[in-house]
Amino acid sequence: MSSLQKQSLDLTAHHSIYPAIDPTRELAGSATDKVLFITGASRGIGQATAVAFAAAGVKAIYATARSEKGLEETRSRVAEVNTDTEFMASSIDVTDARQVELAVNDCVSKFGGIDVVDANAGFLGPWVKIAESDPDSWWMNFEVNVKGAYHTARYTLSHLVKSASYHKAKGASGGHLIMVSSVGAQLLVDGASDYQTSKHAVNRLVEFVQNDHGDEGIKCFAMHPGGVATEIGKAMPDYMHEYLNDDPELAAGFAVWLSSGRADWAKGRYLSANWDVGELNAMKEEILGDDLLVNRLRVRW
């Protein structure tokens, strides 16, 4: 069994969209009346996620990324699937707290609140051993993947708490925060110390968000998006490219599913978009009972 398989539940693995997480089928209308705030939305998984939420009926999307051109492409793709979805875009750097704060405030000013947040912005530099690494490139993984996710959580959480309360009063579910992680968080691959430790930190950050704000209605998840041939994915060494066989729409549909209320029981945990959600739900009692899918030190006594 490979190290990758050891870090996954024994569930049916999906590599493309399927009915249970399809925003035009099982999840149709699940995002109605909600506002999505998303980072890294100019291409790849982020762009596909914005489109998926539009297909699921989301009221409005506030999309951020560094590329203005890419954000305009996302705007066009969203309009193709749902002309009723309002769309605003802002070119920001998630490593800058003030830029994130202003974008969040602008979103709330334009759309009245935030119901779902997808912290998708990410970075991956060259894979080299620590003694040969460039300090600035090494640390940039933490600047974008961890600090960027923290900034996104820091300035959206108060609005997500309001969303959770509002939707709970209506008998629905709100206040969802998704942080894009990676199966790499659990692996030890030569030369990947920067990226993989940063994603491990993201998983722990998710647990802390849930610990600190779960009693306020927040549902936070660390999501492995699968192996997608994005620019980040293709930046990995060539021998890793055999794992890049998942469609970006898989992660996008999984994100819609996470924010639909169907996965609220798994809040605070690491989940993979590859896992079949029906089989995952069937494991609920085991996962909760044994406190699985969280970062813990294994000891014997």
Q: Give the residue among 96, 44, 47, 28 at the shortest CA–CA distance from 260.
A: 28
The β-bridge relationship of strands 35-38 and 219-224 is: unpaired
Domain chopping of the chain, boundaries: 11-289
pLDDT of residue 13: 93
Please enumerate in sequence order all residues whose Cβ is within 8 A of that of 295, keeping only pairs 6 or more positions apart, or say none.
200, 203, 204, 207, 270
Task: Report the distance separating Cα 205 and Cα 217, nearest Å.
Answer: 17
User: Do 287 and 281 meet the contact criterion of CB atoms below 8 Å apart?
Assistant: no
Q: Are strands 35-38 and 116-119 parallel, antiparallel or unpaired?
A: parallel
What is the SS3 string spanning the chain?
Answer: CCHHHHCCCCCCECCCCCHHHCCCCCCCCCCECCEEEECCCCCHHHHHHHHHHHHCCECEEEEEECCHHHHHHHHHHHHHHCCCCEEEEEECCCCCHHHHHHHHHHHHHHHCCCCEEEECCCCCCCCCCHHHCCHHHHHHHHHHHHHHHHHHHHHHHHHHHHHHHHHHHCCCCCCEEEEECCHHHHCCCCCCHHHHHHHHHHHHHHHHHHHHHHHHCCEEEEEECCCCCCHHHHCCCHHHHHHCCCCHHHHHHHHHHHCCCCCHHHCCCEEECCECHHHHHHCHHHHHHCCCCCCCCCCCC
- Tell me how long the chain is: 301
Q: Quick one: tokens of 10?
A: 């024994």
The pair phi, psi for residue 47, each rounded to 5°, is: -65, -45
What pLDDT, on a 0 to 100 scale, did the predictor assign at position 301?
Answer: 75
pLDDT tens-digit profile, the chain (301 residues)? 455 556 779 999 999 999 999 999 999 999 999 999 999 999 999 999 999 999 999 999 999 999 999 999 999 999 999 999 999 999 999 999 999 999 999 999 999 999 999 999 999 988 899 999 999 999 999 999 999 999 999 999 999 999 999 999 999 999 999 999 999 899 899 999 999 999 999 999 999 999 999 999 999 999 999 887 666 666 666 666 666 688 999 999 999 999 999 999 999 999 999 999 999 999 999 999 999 999 988 888 7
Distance (Å, whole) CA 282 – CA 284: 6
Give the Cα separation of 293 and 222 in Å (integer). 10
Q: Of 151, 188, 136, whose CA–CA distance to 37 is shortest?
A: 151
On whether the CB atoms of residues 244 and 229 are closer than 8 A, the answer is yes
Do the Cβ atoms of 50 and 72 come closer than 8 Å? no
How far apart (Å, rounded) are the C-alpha atoms in residues 252 and 265?
A: 20
Evaluate the CA torsion angle 111, 113, 118, 120 in order and state its sign: positive
The set of catalytic residues is 195, 199
Q: What is the largest CA-CA distance in the chain?
A: 60
Domain 11-289 sits in CATH at 3.40.50.720
